[in-house]
Structure 1
């Protein structure tokens, strides 16, 4: 009987071939190559995507104003546009209590309320970014006043501030630079930067939570097309604007900033003791002096039927009203201010808070002998400017006459009429709207020289594009160019990514080739084209 064994194969070899052919090893090789290729592609794509994700930086700024302190957290893509950040406000926290200047008798009490907002900010900034996130504090007019009167007191307050910030997780390597008292010019300049940045006047459009677009437009010149900024806090007021290319300004009235590769030079001036709280105090002191320190004072700007009692210290022991002359009354005295609702006399007294007769060495001036070029372009007025105009329902009006009419109506109301018409307005603020409006009117028209035509260029706002207006955002933008550049730690270079992609795609192509070969092998086997070993026989030729 003829053997069916192939002459070149032993029985063991035939068994091995049979097992291999039955499981079709080509399918197995194809699957392995495909899995290696796909897993490799997924891994390198994920790593490359991480390399391409925006790398963000963060900054924290505390606005330490005369009446309160507020913390802001800003975020921007580390790939700064022309070395200046496109920052976006992502969080804010109001520190409880008054401004830091109100802690002059107990500076250590500042620590707990500051720590609350610092801890809150740490919860907003990612953990891995905190040590590289700079934190700044700028103290404004309230601290400027204290520093001018008693620098040791202001130093004690700032020491507590710096020590508290130092205990946070944020980067605070230069305490005396990062937490300091701002000059009035800086405050005005940074507010100007904020307003123009939000409005897109620097040739860039700031990011929002909705859009991260980066559009550009050309300006005719560095300054043309920008808007002026009018700010009024509790202790000072600022005016900042670009006066036009033909105006040559004295150096001590200018502010300079390099933003998005352009240099901006603007007029800026801050008036200390002309913020809304201090001007009220100065008005009361003026009334007391002009009425020979009698204890019962006629208040022409106050509504008829309303009395306000103030202690001597509240009127005369603040930096803006303190002077060397002795007052002919006891320091334990209380003054009673009785409203008379006399708008004419109110304007006369308020006018005396300005010195329009002081000599000025310049061609154009505002008041107190201070240089100011003619107002130029559009202006945005915020803070206490906005609060007054909002109360008078004049924020959407561009008419000086309408503003004056609305103010006159309020000034002629009795206290009873005011309470009936404005039942939800805080009673502490309500008696002061006539005086505040009269003061703002004189400041804008006689000091800054806005008239019937240029009043139309005034816009009274609290926010612009859902962003609070103030100096802190402008400060962060201006400071960003001085911050060290954050460098990304790349997982792989673009060349390595391309080579790895090619390698793993090749694995997938090879797996396809093996799969095709496996299918072909399977079909040949089914048609009997592949060698099939004979059944095993015993030594006598019988089939087992």
Structure 2
């Protein structure tokens, strides 16, 4: 790809963007002058530009099912995040997502153009040829058929290649698999906690319970990595990552259909179209997931913690044959355990349900807390005895859409942690929504992990160091 020659660096943001506006020949020419002026006003206040010898940027696109987002991160020579304006990232988004343009790949790519203009404008011109631009697509594109996803990704590659002066490789535009998402989440959380660069035994394990899948990721020893089985199909269990001069072997596995919302459907499948003991007494309705409608009503005897546990364990397939020395559930290799699994951080629905059910404080300013798996069981035993019409008085912070499924959700999360993933019921884990990084609360999300990997693994970064 043709690169623009470096121009002398001007350490004033206003002058820099005027220079960009006059000189750039690709995305910059297409950019709206008002966009540049707005970005200029926002960032020039902090005088954020330093020099090419002391900072690196990364531009990461998150192409989700509901919309597309651009994240721009800025790092110093020690790979610490630097502020862009008042925040540790530049962020913007657009709707709908790429999957909404299944029949028009060019329109899909063009939907990203405003974000590309803005994201590139944040990066100083001299640094653009050395700034990686990546796009990771998730659930939306995974579901498209007949090659539509491939055509959209190719159109995006053309956009990045032809209308961007950022560092670009075709393979950096792709659909992320579940284990990649899990790996990037692990990188992001360990980075914000100051663990990256330290021995694997000092890192934390991450559990991310989304709506459709749950990811488990932790660093394992080189010896365990060498013993990793090769699955007959699906994603590899172990991923090698080079981060801040340190090599890590990450066990990462994504359990599709076992996210919180998908797991409800799996639990309904066990009882087929009859009553389900996980549904609160007094509720009679339907649950829809993935276009399939399930009957959601309790038996005449009402909901039951014990019977709900039995149904949930069947849905988890905890008794599925295990062909390895250690397994989690559904015949999946566990990674072998070890020091990297000692401290567990659980995010997304693990945090949300704990807050709704009172396991941790429901205060709006609380973004993390400590709990034990047994606490989910204790809350479940109360929820499963509560009638649907009374549940709001017992659990005042529960969201209305979760009311009928509170017994089911709590039983599932307890069973997943203990019977599925093998955690000690009395082991304290950290439930997290945001992490305090340099006195700023930041959400743990995969784009930061992707940026860290991209910047820290570049050859010219090692030369720069």
Same fold, TM-score > 0.5, yes or no: yes
Query: Matched residues in 1 for 2:68 and 2:311: separation?
Result: 32
Gapped regions of structure 1 (runs ≥ 5): 1-49, 204-218, 292-296, 316-333, 488-544
Aligned ranges for residues 440-455 of structure 1 at < 5 Å?
A: 440-453=413-426, 455=427
Q: Does 2:199 align with 1:181?
A: no
**CA root-mean-square deviation:** 3.6
What is the CA-CA distance between 1:281 and the residue it aligns to?
3.2
User: Of 223, 242, 258, which residue of structure 1 is paired with 2:219?
Assistant: 242
Q: Does 2:80 align with 1:86?
A: yes
What is the CA-CA distance between 1:128 and the residue it aligns to?
6.0
In the alignment, what sits opposite 1:504?
Answer: none
Stretch moving more, 190-199 or 476-485 = 476-485
Aligned ranges for residues 34-49 of structure 1 at < 5 Å?
A: none
In the alignment, what sits opposite 1:391?
Answer: 356
Q: Does 2:452 align with 1:474?
A: no
User: Of 234, 245, 257, which residue of structure 2 is paired with 1:261?
Assistant: 245
User: Of 382, 387, 393, which residue of structure 1 is paired with 2:347?
Assistant: 382
Query: Matched residues in 2 for 1:156 and 1:486: separation?
Result: 33
Q: Does 2:313 align with 1:351?
A: yes
Q: Deviations over 1:14-47 (max 9, x none)?
A: xxxxxxxxxxxxxxxxxxxxxxxxxxxxxxxxxx
State which structure, 1 or 2, has the greater radius of gyration over its C-alpha atoms: 1
Secondary structure at the aligned position of 1:459 is classed as strand
Secondary structure at the aligned position of 2:326 is classed as coil
In the alignment, what sits opposite 1:196?
Answer: 190
In the alignment, what sits opposite 1:300?
Answer: 277
Secondary structure at the aligned position of 1:386 is classed as helix
Gapped regions of structure 2 (runs ≥ 5): 1-48, 83-87, 231-236, 361-368
Query: Matched residues in 1 for 2:456 and 2:289: separation?
Result: 48
> Cα–Cα, structure 1 residues 387 and 161, in superposed 2: closer, same or farther, change >3 Å?
farther
Higher relative CO (Cα under 8 Å, sequence separation at least 6) belongs to 1
In the alignment, what sits opposite 1:139?
Answer: 137
> Cα–Cα, structure 1 residues 241 and 404, in superposed 2: closer, same or farther, change >3 Å?
same
What is the CA-CA distance between 1:479 and the residue it aligns to?
1.2
Q: Deviations over 1:119-161 (max 9, x none)?
A: 55356445665565432111235544x37xx451332443455
- Number of aligned pairs? 385
> Cα–Cα, structure 1 residues 272 and 409, in superposed 2: closer, same or farther, change >3 Å?
same
> Cα–Cα, structure 1 residues 484 and 225, in superposed 2: closer, same or farther, change >3 Å?
closer
| Equivalent pair of 1:234/1:277 in contact (CA under 8 Å) | yes
In the alignment, what sits opposite 1:171?
Answer: 166
Query: Matched residues in 1 for 2:194 and 2:184: separation?
Result: 15
In the alignment, what sits opposite 1:31?
Answer: none
> Cα–Cα, structure 1 residues 102 and 274, in superposed 2: closer, same or farther, change >3 Å?
farther
User: Of 218, 229, 233, which residue of structure 1 is paired with 2:206?
Assistant: 229
Secondary structure at the aligned position of 1:242 is classed as strand
Query: Matched residues in 2 for 1:251 and 1:137: separation?
Result: 30
Q: Does 2:430 align with 1:459?
A: yes
| Equivalent pair of 1:131/1:169 in contact (CA under 8 Å) | no
Stretch moving more, 334-343 or 347-356 = 334-343
Query: Matched residues in 2 for 1:370 and 1:271: separation?
Result: 9
In the alignment, what sits opposite 2:74?
Answer: 75
Query: Matched residues in 2 for 1:335 and 1:227: separation?
Result: 38
> Cα–Cα, structure 1 residues 269 and 485, in superposed 2: closer, same or farther, change >3 Å?
same
Query: Matched residues in 2 for 1:285 and 1:60: separation?
Result: 42
What is the CA-CA distance between 1:485 and the residue it aligns to?
3.8
In the alignment, what sits opposite 2:329?
Answer: 367
Query: Matched residues in 2 for 1:158 and 1:383: separation?
Result: 28
Query: Matched residues in 1 for 2:351 and 2:112: separation?
Result: 27
| Equivalent pair of 1:257/1:264 in contact (CA under 8 Å) | yes
TM value normalised by structure 2: 0.70
Query: Matched residues in 2 for 1:428 and 1:118: separation?
Result: 36
TM value normalised by structure 1: 0.61
> Cα–Cα, structure 1 residues 272 and 65, in superposed 2: closer, same or farther, change >3 Å?
farther
What is the CA-CA distance between 1:280 and the residue it aligns to?
2.8
In the alignment, what sits opposite 2:147?
Answer: 152
Aligned ranges for residues 271-286 of structure 1 at < 5 Å?
A: 271-286=255-270
